[in-house]
Amino acid sequence: MTLTRLSLTDFRNHAGADMAAGPGLVALHGNNGAGKTNILEAISLLAPGRGLRRAPLSDMVRDGASGGFAIFAEVLAGADLPPVALGTGIEPAHPGRRIVRINGASAAAASLGEWIAILWLTPAMDRLFVESAGNRRRFLDRLVLALDPRHAQHSNRYEAALRARGKLLADPGQADPQWLASLEAQLAEHGAAMDAARLSTLAALAAELADQPDAPFARPLLTLVDGEGREREGPHDVEALKTLFAARRRIDAAAGRATAGPHRDDLSAVHAATGRAAARCSTGEQKAMLLSLVLAHSDCVARARGARPVLLLDEVAAHLDPSRRAALYERLAGQGGQAWLTGTEAALFADMPGPVTRFRIAGGRIAAG
Ligand SMILES: Nc1ncnc2c1ncn2[C@@H]1O[C@H](COP(=O)(O)OP(=O)(O)OP(=O)(O)O)[C@@H](O)[C@H]1O
Ligand SMILES: [Mg+2]
């Protein structure tokens, strides 16, 4: 998948930007605060979800602008597919409502995943394996979504049913058992579908990673674990999930949240070469595992969808030694997808194998080169 054109209006520090890019590597260089990560964030909003900073939409409007922003891209989703125009943004009159357009027509954000798959690595993700489960689960769900676009719908419906059940349980006078049972049936249906998609993504990744060497990027062994950190034994089936939710109404009402279910599951990673849990690995080892995971995942998506996801690698290059950096570029260039990389120095990107599109960013202005 390739973004052939990206234009931004009043998005963060970019008043108006227009970029044309080719397949292969796209290098963005510029000083701290120039607007590089903002460009990656804009691209990340072309996928379902809240983008790479998970910021509120209103924060993304350029300071001093009239209250809306727009992101527009032309995308080649695959060799045999016609180009598609994707757009998203907010209008001043409805600052809380995200607008999504696909070829000019209004669409739900979840349907963006049918056209484009986008994965990112950012400095904030350096702590992914040591922080709370939520970000890891969201990361896993992005990997799943890239392979199976229906995952967004299942997740949205699951979350909606979870919220509705929580509201009912919070008000015992309202907790009509039939209404609860119908919400729990939705939770079970969408929860089982989400779970099956997560497990099959992890199985595909494990198969891909098994063929890859431990160097130069450390290979992780991945498993899905429950909220208590126990490895999940088999897929959640619909009936078992219905029974689980029905049995936990009282506990969940007392806790004020759903205490068990697929929304509590977590991604566990172990450094294959040392057998150490990812959270106990060095920062460099953890970064290397994330990188090899994302690269293997790109191979999985290429196999399953016939096109690679767009990769956004924020400040990844600067943290690699020269030989690993060269290995990363070789691998990204050799595989044919599009990868956007940022760094403060043009020199980081000097020896990239082609094709390469280069941009210099300064104070929200973008120039080729
Ligand atoms: N809503 C906004 N309106 C205007 N400027 C904003 C807005 N939100 C953030 N900024 C500013 O945009 C600038 C660029 O941010 P960005 O994160 O893209 O920088 P960067 O080029 O990635 O820098 P670094 O190398 O430090 O990571 C920052 O100065 C930031 O404060
Ligand atoms: Mg940045």
Q: Where are the domains of the chain?
A: 1-116+309-369, 128-291
- Write down the pLDDT at residue 81: 85
Distance CA 297, CA 267 (A): 15
Tens of pLDDT along 145-204? 999 999 999 999 999 999 999 999 999 787 788 999 999 999 999 999 999 999 999 999
CA dihedral 72, 157, 194, 311 (to 10 degrees): 10
Between 213 and 279, the higher pLDDT residue? 279
Task: Determine the residue of 8, 10, 13 to mutate for testing ligand 1's pocket, defined as the one with the most ligand atoms within 8 A of the Cβ atom.
Answer: 13
From ligand 1's centre to the CA of 29, what distance in Å? 13
Assess whether the C-beta atom of 124 lies below 6 angstroms from ligand 1. no
Residues near ligand 2 ion, CB 5 Å cutoff: 37
| Ligand 1 atom 18, closest CA | 35
Distance CA 263, CA 31 (A): 40
Assess whether the C-beta atom of 13 lies below 6 angstroms from ligand 1. yes
| Ligand 1 atom 28, closest CA | 33
* Beta-carbon count within 10 A of 330 CB: 12
CB–CB of 180/186 below 8 Å? no
Mean pLDDT of 28-43: 98
Topology of domain 128-291, CATH: Glutathione S-transferase Yfyf (Class Pi); Chain A, domain 2 (1.20.1050)
Domain covering 1-116+309-369: architecture: 3-Layer(aba) Sandwich (3.40)
Please provide the size of the chain in residues: 369
| Ligand 1 atom 19, closest CA | 33
From ligand 2's centre to the CA of 91, what distance in Å? 26
- Write down the pLDDT at residue 173: 80
CB–CB of 29/346 below 8 Å? yes
Assess whether the C-beta atom of 122 lies below 6 angstroms from ligand 1. no
Which atom of ligand 1 is nearest the CA belonging to 62? 3
Q: Do domains 1-116+309-369 and 128-291 have the same CATH topology?
A: no
CB–CB of 339/332 below 8 Å? yes
The number of the ligand nearest the C-alpha atom of 344 reads 1
Mean pLDDT of 209-223: 91
Mean pLDDT of 10-29: 97
Mean pLDDT of 70-91: 94
Q: Where residue 214 falls among pLDDT bands split at 50, 70, 90? A: confident
From ligand 2's centre to the CA of 348, what distance in Å? 15
Between 99 and 77, the higher pLDDT residue? 99
What is the share, in percent, of the chain residues with pLDDT greater than 90? 90
Which H helix or E strand runs over 340? strand 338-343
